[in-house]
Chain A
Amino acid sequence: MTLASGDLGSLGMAVMNQPHRPSEAFAPHLRVRGLTIRRGERLLFEDLAFEVRAGGVLLVRGPNGVGKSTLLMALAGIVRPDAGTIEGVERTRLHLLNYRSGLKPRLTVAENLKFWRAMHGATGLDEDAALEVVGIDGLGGLEAGYLSSGQLRRLALARLLVSKRPVWLLDEPSAALDAEGEALLGRLIDAHRASGGIAIVATHHDLMLADAAGVETLMLGGGA
């Protein structure tokens, strides 16, 4: 299903008319209604509505500057929307991945990962296993400042694996990744979906997902 921002108002109504379900303890269910965000004087989007169920992926697309990152920041609770509600995504149950990866160049790769594991909860893989999954095992003792930008991005992805959280908000996750890295990203999102997680991905690239079912696209800015 492709949503254009033109007919979002009616879709918002359709969502609202659905009977309210009791909130599930583990299965994430993200519901956004009537979301309006301004940045300064500029209206980025108005009355945006969508919903993503467990195992679903939402691709957010649109030209540069249309508000993809701002939408993710709003879902992450950093940017306060001017109107509308966001349900089903709690502060401690989401991972945000954007170009500012929160990695310290003067700490080693393992120390960076260990820190975020302590902060976000040691509920996922341990550091070594996560580094192996993202293909930078053996670099754990190296200061992160020596990594290439592609390796840094892999390390940032490893952060999502050391703490298991149901909602992933990924902003251009494939930036700086090579072809093999993009395939890895696809596999990670596949595995995340298989375990019932949801992913909201703002990207200009096609994700290399095994299964396109349940992948929806949200087009911002009305363009095709």
Chain B
Amino acid sequence: MSGFGALIGRDLKLAFRAGGEALTLVLFFVMVAVIVPFAIGPDRPQLSRLAPGIVWIAAFLSMLLGLDRLFRADDEDGSLTLLRHSSLPLEAVVAAKVIAHWLVTALPLLVATPVLALLLSMSWEQWGRTVLALVIGTPGLVSFGALGAAVTVGLRRGGLIAPVLILPLAIPVMIFGVGMLDPLAGSGATLFLIALSLVVTAFSPFAAALALRAAGE
């Protein structure tokens, strides 16, 4: 098995073995959707109109909350230092970790979206567009997140600093993500979201590796 695959495999194993940590984010995601109808009332047309925004807020927040552990555990036990001596360049190490992180945090959200669709009385068509928007947008969110996580990895109790740091950067993802869900809008938002996600995903391993190298000193 190549190092790249081995790293993804290890991170997946750890996520599922660590006592369902991956599931806490999904629970948070669903919880937001559960409480919203109570907060704004059971008016179905209104709920359905607000649904795309609510789903994006829920996804956005749960992705941000999961960021901190992207590099922290590996930094604390020394894995990150040892990975710098692996046959993979650090950029590839970061890319593998970002892919694993997406699989652990974003994929479960996509699987949980039917529950939200039901709770927020979304139509099937609306649900389909939402899933598509999340599929396109979440790699961008994770990649922005990798930057924030790499920059704050040296802080003892980073906690919420990484999410706060990357929030302004990640907001365009949400703007175009929600824009894509407007049935009357053209394909502009979709193209912008794709472009944004691709660019960030391509560049963030290099930027994050740079930050990790600086943090090691």
A residues apposed to B, CB below 8 Å: 76-80, 91-92, 94-96, 98-104, 106-107, 111, 114-116, 118-121
Q: Is the CB of B87 within 8 A of A121?
A: yes
Q: Is the CB of A107 within 8 A of B14?
A: yes
B residues apposed to A, CB below 8 Å: 1-3, 5-7, 10, 13-14, 17-18, 74, 76-79, 81-88, 216-217
Distance A143 CA – B82 CA, assembled complex (angstroms):
20
List the A side residues contacting B17 at CB < 8 Å.
106-107
Other-chain contact of B216, A78, A101, A107, A120 (Cβ < 8 Å): A78
**Known interface pairs A96-B81, A107-B13, A118-B1; 7 further A-B residue pairs with C-beta atoms within 8 A, sorted by A's residue number:** A98-B78, A106-B14, A106-B17, A106-B18, A111-B13, A115-B7, A120-B86
- In the complex where A80-B217, A118-B2 touch, is A92 in contact with B78 (Cβ < 8 A)? no
- In the complex where A111-B13, A115-B6, A119-B6 touch, is A103 in contact with B85 (Cβ < 8 A)? no
Other-chain contact of A115, B10, B18, B81, B84 (Cβ < 8 Å): B10
A-B contact pairs, 8 of them (CB 8 A): A79-B217, A94-B85, A100-B78, A102-B82, A104-B10, A107-B10, A107-B14, A118-B7
Q: Is the CB of B87 within 8 A of A100?
A: no
| CB nearest neighbor in A for B19 | A106
List the B side residues contacting A107 at CB < 8 Å.
10, 13-14, 17
Distance A150 CA – B83 CA, assembled complex (angstroms):
23
Distance A39 CA – B87 CA, assembled complex (angstroms):
29
Nearest Cβ on chain A to B212's Cβ, whole angstroms: 11
Q: Is the CB of B1 within 8 A of A96?
A: no
List the B side residues contacting A104 at CB < 8 Å.
10, 14, 77, 79
Nearest Cβ on chain B to A12's Cβ, whole angstroms: 24
Q: Is the CB of B77 within 8 A of A100?
A: yes
Nearest Cβ on chain A to B176's Cβ, whole angstroms: 37
Q: Is the CB of B86 within 8 A of A92?
A: yes
Interface SS majority for chain A: loop
Distance A148 CA – B64 CA, assembled complex (angstroms):
36
- In the complex where A106-B14, A118-B6 touch, is A76 in contact with B78 (Cβ < 8 A)? no
List the A side residues contacting B82 at CB < 8 Å.
96, 102, 116, 119-120
Distance A91 CA – B81 CA, assembled complex (angstroms):
11
| CB nearest neighbor in A for B78 | A100
List the B side residues contacting A77 at CB < 8 Å.
84-85
Nearest Cβ on chain A to B83's Cβ, whole angstroms: 6
Nearest Cβ on chain A to B70's Cβ, whole angstroms: 15
Nearest Cβ on chain A to B5's Cβ, whole angstroms: 8
List the B side residues contacting A116 at CB < 8 Å.
82
Q: Is the CB of A91 within 8 A of B14?
A: no
Q: Is the CB of B77 within 8 A of A102?
A: yes
Other-chain contact of B85, A80, A91, A111, A115 (Cβ < 8 Å): A91
Most chain A CB neighbours (cut-off 10 Å) among B1, B5, B81: B81
Q: Is the CB of B87 within 8 A of A102?
A: no
Q: Is the CB of A100 within 8 A of B85?
A: no
Q: Is the CB of A119 within 8 A of B3?
A: yes
Q: Is the CB of A119 within 8 A of B13?
A: no
Q: Is the CB of B84 within 8 A of A119?
A: no
Most chain A CB neighbours (cut-off 10 Å) among B5, B10, B84, B85: B85
List the A side residues contacting B87 at CB < 8 Å.
92, 119-121
- In the complex where A78-B217, A115-B10 touch, is A92 in contact with B77 (Cβ < 8 A)? no
Distance A95 CA – B83 CA, assembled complex (angstroms):
11
Most chain A CB neighbours (cut-off 10 Å) among B5, B18, B77: B77
List the A side residues contacting B6 at CB < 8 Å.
114-115, 118-119
List the B side residues contacting A92 at CB < 8 Å.
85-87
| CB nearest neighbor in A for B90 | A91
| CB nearest neighbor in B for A121 | B87
- In the complex where A104-B14, A104-B77 touch, is A119 in contact with B217 (Cβ < 8 A)? no
Q: Is the CB of B3 within 8 A of A103?
A: no
Across the A-B interface, give the 8 residue pairs with the lowest CB-CB distance, nearest first. Answer: A100-B78, A118-B6, A119-B86, A102-B79, A102-B82, A102-B78, A106-B17, A78-B216
